[in-house]
Amino acid sequence: MGARLEDETTKIHFHIFSKDLERIDALFCRQGHRTVGRSKALRLIIHSYLSHLEKKSNAKPVKFDPTVADIIA
């Protein structure tokens, strides 16, 4: 499977709550059949979450500028 992906992958084993797995299956299912594999769904979820955290941590504070306050008001 890793050979078919663009980026290098690492195989891991972890436990997930059954309710969460049911929710993931429900979001990626169509008429009771999975349209994408669980591993792809989990990769996308993890990748999206980590990208969000990275953007959040790289956020820089914006200096207050009184001219902006005048425009908003």
Q: Yes or no: say if 72 and 66 are a contact pair by the CB < 8 Å rule.
A: no
Tell me what pLDDT residue 19 has.
95
Is the pLDDT score of 69 beyond 60?
yes
Q: Yes or no: say if 29 and 41 are a contact pair by the CB < 8 Å rule.
A: no
16-54 pLDDT, tens digit per residue, is 999 998 888 888 766 566 566 788 888 888 999 999 988
Is the pLDDT score of 72 beyond 80?
no
